[in-house]
Amino acid sequence: MAFGWVGKILDVDLTTKEITVRDTMAYASDYLGGRAMASRIAWDEIPTGIGAYDPENRVIVATGPLTGTLAPTSGRTVMASLSPRTYPMPWYTHSTLGGWFGAELKYAGFDAIVLHGRADSPVSLNIRDGTAQLVDAQDIWGLDARKTQLTLKERLGQGTQVLTIGPAGENLVRFATVQHSEENAAGHSGFGAVWGSKNLKAIAVQGTGSVSVADSDALLREVIGAGKFQVAPCVGVLRRSSESKTERRPVCSQACTFDCYINDYGHTKDGRRVPRVCVGGVWSDQGQQMSLTKYSGSGVEVPAGRNFGPQEEAELHQLCNSLGLDLWFRLVMQPWFIRCQQLGIHEIRGHSIEPEDAEGFERFMVQLAHREGLGAIFADDLVRAMDELESELPEELIRLGRELEFDFGFPAHREGRFWDGEPLPFWVISAMMHISTSRDPTIGTHESSLLHADFFLENPELARHQFRRLSEQVWGYPDAFEPTFENKAPVAIWSQNQHMLIDSLPLCDFAFPQLVRPMENRAEWEAAEDISGDIDLGRRLFLAVTGVDMSWDDLTHMAERAFTLERAMLARAGRGRKMEEALTSHFKLPCRADGTFIDEAGFSRLLDEYYSARGWDLEFGWPQAELLISLGLDEVIPEIRECRSRFADEGVGPSESSRLAWPAGC
Amino acid sequence: MVMTGGQRIHVESHLCRDCQACTLACSLYHEGQCNPGLARLAVTKDMAKYEFHILICQHCNSPECLLSCPTDAMTMDGRGVVIIHDEECIQCGACAARCPYDAIFYNVAADRYLKCDLCTGREGGPLCVELCPVGALMLET
């Protein structure tokens, strides 16, 4: 009997309607679950060379061994697929969501679902206690995400947990989400559009089963020891006061017992209380946080976003979730449109732009989700709209749009320039993660590195003193967070490995790893000599739940194996050094916090340092045979060799050949 | 008239955030596995209103459940807490039907009725109270 895992993976062929089951434990020892397990399934089963909307693309919905248990923040789910959002071509990536779906899936007897094919008309997948069936969903196709969930709960029972797409996914908007509950979404990777392309409207699940726990006493001991209502993210201590500690904020995931500073409640115009999380939450922050989009440097001007007021923002936020749009579009498109107006441009292709009018912005969101009017131009994302509008708009605007989504089509995020102002060395660590990850790397690494920049912005001297000690403890050298360009690859790689584990167990990256310990208040931080947290907690939770005693070396090895498979899939897609060097243009812009930047030669050295530390070659940045053998991935070697040969033979770098290789419309 | 000892768990449902730590801890403590359906309390959600409701035994002064049980499956312990004895229970459901708080739960898979026992014998008192991060559950004596 396995503890933690429930033992079965559901395979759903949407074309033939055939549903079968496979054994989870075939993956568990080498890939744990969640994102790592998905990487293995994707490598084995997603054919090379297809687009995101090809029926043979897989949608993998995966929980981990901790999902459904009492382990704090473990109620998370991972989704993975080829993404239609990644630019300039589709590649495999992942997205995670909190909520209550993953736990219910396990109570229904399944650790994961693998979907492929394409239904000939809209369907939903209903799962209940070990059984699954595809049912006609034509009557709910067109409903928004909230109404879809309310409808399915009415039909199937209020305890039903639902994943669904809204109109944006149905209309193949490239940043369409898969929504769950009020607020949760697989939001960033455009998987809503992949669902739409498969005619998959929703997955509804009900379960009455259990997740067995190997050592319930140990799990209870760890959970009680972790404390309740501790501040998370740990950096939230900077904003916590004795008054705010008594405030009650919503959770975004089952089993979260933390007091999370990225969550809050809001109210819609009709008085309905709603949760607001992170990007959605900061919209309603009285304009204060919207100023974080403001940037000026090297000819790039990003205006501050416009906040419409608490209730208007709550309305927009709810609408965004209902339509199934990634909340992040607002952070790049609104400032871009405001800059258009500042430059005297008030309409695009005959459509007026109204970024500072709440109702106008609401109309734009609806148009985006339905690919109508102005929305039709931007539904393929801002960066692709720049390609479309290149000959029609001033060069400054085209450049701005491309910089705002410089990260292969993902919105700029914690890169020290446009959104948050991480000083050196945090943006260097961020840059290393940007060059090597399939998607915005920040979402998943908040507590393992990037968020701690806030301590340095608050009190640089104190933070440097504390983090030198911490650096020595964790990485064995003192200058991991010193403001230099050197020796940052170990931090980036450690952070990415933690990210992989967090997405695979799973846990929430706003609470794990506890690099810095939760503290009661700002005064405690200011008085602290040792701020180190309980980094081992995640491993011990895994041990208590599964009974599997893995060392950190074992867990790191597992994380590296899965990350390497993800990298191998980027190689398949043709993404490599040449495309990653192109990110230099963004990091040449001066950092907002301290004015630091990097030139081409310096950025190239960062790539060399990172690739070398990973065991990747310096020409393409792809895994070398020695690394693959050490990770037990010998079977990957021939395909990587073939990729190198293919791209070298074509006489062009990976980026150019790949652009040519991909079919239009994907 | 049967009188209890007066201990009960006071509920403030409006503080609840649906983290389910209470139900998961309850099932883990009593059953060794995580399953809200095996918990001695329940958290339900009304998505239309974004409201949560916690259902848990209020240890009535005159427990209708105990009075309605046709067998000897329910007894009151020294604390005044009504305990279900599975071996005597005939799963008739009379207790659940009479509970004014809908706080006696039937688990289909286990074919058992479950209710709060205030974590009998646990040092530190009821686990749900200890773990609730927002004070939605508080022990009253």
Structure tokens at A71: 């382990």
Has residue A656 got a pLDDT over 70?
A: no
What span, in angstroms and rounded, lies between the C-alpha atoms of A167 and A320?
11
Q: Which residues of A5-27 are buried (b: 16+ CB within 10 A; e: fewer)?
A: bbebbbbbbbeeeebeeeebeeb
- Which whole number is the average pLDDT over A221-245? 78
CB B2 within 8 A of CB B63: yes
Q: Average pLDDT for residues A75-88, to the nearest whole number?
A: 97
Classify each residue of A519-550 as buried b or exposed e, where b means 16 or more C-beta atoms within 10 Å of its C-beta.
beeeeebeeeeebbbbbebbbbbbbbbbebeb
pLDDT of residue A280: 57
Nearest to A212 among B24, B33, B47 (CB): B33
| Nearest-by-Cβ selection for A251 from B18, B27, B107 | B18
Q: CA–CA separation, A488 vs A465, rounded Å?
A: 18
Q: Look at A18-32, A436-450, A531-545, A635-649 and tell me which has the smallest mean pLDDT.
A: A436-450
B34, B123, B132: which to substitute to probe chain A, counting the most A Cβ within 10 Å?
B34
Confidence tier at A244 by pLDDT (50, 70, 90): low
Alpha helices in A263-328 (DSSP H): 278-283, 310-323
Establish if B92 belongs to a structural domain. Answer: yes
Mean of per-residue pLDDT scores for chain A? 92
Question: Does residue B73 form part of some domain?
Answer: yes
Q: What is the pLDDT of residue A286?
A: 52
Q: Decide if B78 is inside a domain.
A: yes
Alpha carbon A230 to its chain centroid, in Å, reads 24
Assess B28–A contact: CB distance below 8 Å, yes or no. yes
- Picking from A210, A254, A275, the nearest residue to B33 by CB comes out as A210
Lowest average pLDDT, out of A198-202, A382-386, A393-397, A416-420, goes to A416-420
| Predicted-complex ipTM score | 0.96
Helix (H) or strand (E) holding A365: helix A358-370
CA distance A160 to chain B (A): 10
Instruction: Please tell me which of the candidates B48, B50, B109 has its beta carbon nearest to residue A274.
Output: B50
Contact A210 B20 (CB under 8 A): no
Cα end-to-end distance, chain B, whole Å:
20
Cβ–Cβ < 8 Å for B137, B56: yes
Rounded (5°) CA angle A510-A512-A516? 90
Of B20, B32, B47, the CB nearest to A216: B32
pLDDT attached to residue A351: 98
Minimal CA separation from A247 to chain B, in Å: 9
**What is the least distance, in Å, from the CA of B136 to any CA of chain A?**
11
Q: Quick one: closest CA in A to B24, which residue?
A: A70
Tally A–B CB contacts below 8 A. Answer: 100
User: For the CA atoms of chain B, what is the radius of gyration?
Assistant: 14
Enumerate residues 40 to 59 of chain B having a beta carbon within 8 A of any beta carbon in chain A.
44-50
Q: Is the model's pLDDT at A284 over the cut of 60?
A: no
Work out the pLDDT band at A310, boundaries 50, 70, 90. Answer: confident
Per residue in A142-170, pLDDT (tens digit) is 999 999 999 999 999 999 999 999 999 99
Residue B1 counted as domain residue: no
Question: Which A-chain residues 95-114 have CB contacts (< 8 A) with chain B?
Answer: 100, 103, 107
Task: Give contacts of A 147-186 with B, CB under 8 A.
Answer: 149-150, 153, 158-159, 181-182
Provide the greatest CA pair distance for chain B: 42
In this predicted structure, the answer to whether residue A281 has a pLDDT above a threshold of 90 is no
Residues B27, A210: C-beta atoms closer than 8 Å: yes
Please give the tally of structural domains in chain B: 1
Q: Concatenated DSSP letters for A501-531?
A: HHHHTT--TTT-S-SB---SSHHHHHH-S--
Whether B28 sits inside 8 A of A70 (CB atoms) is: yes
What sign does the CA torsion over A197, A198, A204, A208 have? negative
Using CA atoms, how far residue A400 sits from A339, A411, A418, A475, in Å, is 9, 12, 11, 37
Distance CA B93, CA A637 (A): 63
Q: Note whether A208 and A121 are within 8 A (CB).
A: no
Q: Give all domains of chain A, ordered by start, each with its CATH number.
A: 8-206 (3.60.9.10), 262-404 (1.10.569.10)
Could you tell me which of A5, A19, A34, A17 has the C-alpha nearest to residue A131?
A19
pLDDT of residue A271: 87
B2 is a domain residue: no
Compare all CA atoms of chain A with the CA of B32 and give the residue at the minimum distance.
Answer: A216
A396 close to A299: Cβ distance less than 8 angstroms: yes
Cα A274 to Cα A140, A255, A268, A269, A316, distances in angstroms: 23, 19, 7, 11, 12
B80: left (phi over 0), alpha (psi -120 to 50) or beta: left
**CA-based nearest distance B3→chain A, Å:** 33
pLDDT (0 to 100) of residue A449: 83
Q: Is the residue at B61 inside a domain?
A: yes
Identify the CA nearest to A97 among candidates A371, A444, A334: A444
- For residue A196, what pLDDT is reported? 98
The pLDDT score that the predictor gives to residue A442 is: 83
**Which of A347, A326, A332, A334 shows the shortest CA–CA distance to A401?**
A332
Percent of chain B with pLDDT over 90: 91
Mean pLDDT of all residues in A103-116? 98
Range of the domain at B28: 8-140
Instruction: State the amino acid at position A454 in one-letter form.
Output: D
Nearest Cβ partner for A107 among B35, B133, B134: B35
Task: Give the CA radius of gyration of chain A.
Answer: 23
Residue A603: pLDDT above 90? Answer: yes
Residue A77: enclosing H or E segment and its boundaries? Answer: strand A77-82
Name the residue among A278, A270, A261 with its Cα closest to residue A331.
A278
Q: Percentage of chain A with pLDDT > 90?
A: 80
Residue B112 sits in a domain whose CATH number is 3.30.70.20
Tens digit of pLDDT for each residue in A559-597?
999 999 999 999 999 999 999 999 999 999 999 999 999
